[in-house]
Structure 1
Amino acid sequence: MPERALAIPLSSGNAVSGVIHAPPRAKRSGVAVVLGHGAGGDMHAPLLVDVARGLAGRGHTVLRFNFPYKELGRKAPDRRETLEMAYEGAIARLRKQKPERLVIGGKSMGGRIASLLAARAVPCDGLVFLGYPLHPAGKRDALRDEHLQAIKAPMLFLQGTRDPLCDLDLLRPALKRLGRRARLHVVEGGDHSLEVLKSAGRTQESVLAEILAAIDGWLEKRVSGD
């Protein structure tokens, strides 16, 4: 699918880099997805690239982008306000494609920032989380789930069983409280980047196929079908 680099203007007057994946017009589903990266990566993180390309191959338009600190080559993430401002800039840029449905999310921190925007009523038709960071590593009592109750849109959580930032025994009751809005897809043996060990007896390609099938099916049933 065609990929095009672009600059995303921000309300601060600066800009960040992005890459848009657009399927042929005749195959477009009408769904557009914004994907933010995790704290330690950038928009070129393998999981983000593979998911973006895979979803574009299924007819969905996807935009992945950098947060400002990565654009400047820094390691430490920006303040929450700056991260949210950049994410809103990415949303505004993708809305120029005039999608019928807009889904936001991303890997770890990128997904969490998307959820914070949705919790304060930034319009979207769904959220997809590639490894939601429910708590810091080793701090199971510092949960980041309270704001999820304020989100009205459907949510898909893709979580690995080896994720040190998301104990599934803590996530499941949190999602149960969200009711029908939340769906959990567990990647057996997956870590925080949804990668599996070689000893798992399966390839990363098969894991990616599983992830894409889960997202695509959810988009069709819970987003496009509503």
Structure 2
Amino acid sequence: MSDLIYDLPGEDSNAVATVILAHGAGAGAESEFMASMAQLLAQQNINVVRFNFAYMQTVLATGKRRPPDRMPRLLECFNAVIARVTQQWPTLPLFVGGKSMGGRVATMLLDDSPARGGIALGYPFHPPGKPDKLRTEHLESLQKPLLIVQGERDTFGTQKEVRGYSLSSAIDTQFLADGDHSFKPRKASGYSQQQHIAAAARHCQRFIAAHL
């Protein structure tokens, strides 16, 4: 496991919680989306910890693309980070989450983790173009609170599609106007991707505050 990436509140601020954020399948923890989200949350007095899954560490070391590890390996990697972070800040409330695939991994370990809740930024409800291949079975019986922030026209699950799913009552889903899988809207919408990322961070801050 490579070093963790920390985004922390200023020296004069006391953190109210810790969030572990995992990256999506194609871009690592240092991606612009991940960095922006982490910085915005840190400004809300939240400790943010980012990390790269093992396969992404190999991608970054070799410069060669490779597919994500299988779910058991991803879960093992995420749980190892949870163990390190809870040892570092044992008394701070913990939340787990991530972008796309990273958020999915977080939702799969959430109920059995020490986290108070989870955050999924662009949940991959199904592969693009394959709406019948749903990844929602575990979300139907989820016990701990989960926030899903989703672009309205996300090809991994549009607002119309998601409204029709049978999801646990513990899940709060917030939609971003005209946003795609990375929250990027079309120009004609009048919104910008950065506005939506900022809005997503505000949803996260409110969700965390509600579960402290």
Task: Calculate the TM-score normalised by the size of structure 2.
Answer: 0.90
Equivalent residues in 2 for 1:1-226, closer than 5 Å: 15-24=1-10, 26-73=12-59, 74-95=65-86, 96-119=88-111, 121-174=112-165, 177-179=167-169, 181-221=170-210, 223-224=211-212
* CA positional deviation for 1:219: 1.2
- Cα distance change of structure 1 residues 202 and 168 upon mapping to structure 2, 3 Å threshold: closer
Q: Which amino acid aligns with 2:194?
A: E
Structure 2, unaligned stretches of length 5 or more? 60-64
8 A contact 2:100–2:120 mirrored in 1: yes
Provide the C-alpha distance between the structure 2 equivalents of 1:107 and 1:71, rounded to a whole number of angstroms: 17
Q: CA deviation at 1:93?
A: 1.9
* SS of residue paired to 1:34: strand
* 1:140–1:167 Cα contact (<8 Å) kept: no
| Superposed displacement of residue 62, structure 1 | 0.5
Deviates more, 1:194-203 or 1:44-53: 194-203
What is the root-mean-square deviation in Å for CA atoms of aligned residues?
A: 1.6
Contact 1:36–1:110 (8 Å) recurs in 2: yes
Q: Equivalents in 1 of 2:197, 2:103: separation in Å? A: 18
Task: Indicate the SS of the match to 2:201.
Answer: helix
Conserved in 2, the CA contact under 8 Å of 1:32 and 1:99? no
State how far apart, in whole Å, the 2-side matches of 1:172 and 1:182 are: 12
The alignment-based identity, stated in percent, is: 32
Count of residue pairs brought into register by the alignment: 206
1:17–1:71 Cα contact (<8 Å) kept: no
Q: What SS class does the counterpart of residue 4 from structure 2 fall into? A: strand
Letter in structure 2 aligned against 1:154 = P
